[in-house]
Amino acid sequence: METLRADMFDEICPSTLLPFRIGGDKWAALVLVCLEDGPRRYSELRVPLARVTPKVLTQSLRTLERDGFILRKQYDEPVRRVTYELTDLGRSLLEPMRVMCDWASDHWDELLDARES
């Protein structure tokens, strides 16, 4: 899913030009993409999502959890460890998202033109 990642994490377009949003929340789509390849810890998510402050990231995660897209797992280990992973529902969302992203890259120039004028 190279193009999806490339487009969505682009500085120019942190979901601002991309004309759709998942879950109504600015970063939700990117969080889902970050979880594509398996569970991730909170601190691991903060790396690709460096522009997102902890508060806002937590908010997104809580909402995505509430809506059944991701699952939060807390481990009873000496070191505190929390991971987030996609549920089946969340994973199923990746396909429609890819369709949207494909559409966006197909019409990228038109989107830019419209915005500039």
Partner DNA sequence: CGACCTGGTTACCGATCGGATACCGTGAAA
Partner DNA sequence: TTTCACGGTATCCGATCGGTAACCAGGTCG
Q: From CA 76, how far away is CA 41, in angstroms rounded?
A: 14
Q: Output the smallest distance, CB 32 to a copy of itself, in A.
A: 10
58 touches DNA (CB under 7 A): yes
71 forms beta bridges with 85
Cα–Cα dist 65/2, whole Å: 25
CA dihedral 18, 19, 22, 28 (to 10 degrees): 30
Q: Out of 2, 12, 24, 117, which residue is the one contacting DNA (CB under 7 A)?
A: 24
Binding mask 30-49 for a copy of itself (x = CB under 8 A): --------------------
**In the range 64-93, which residues lie near a copy of itself by CB under 8 A?**
66-69, 89, 92-93
How many residues sit close enough to DNA to count as binding (CB under 7 A)? 23
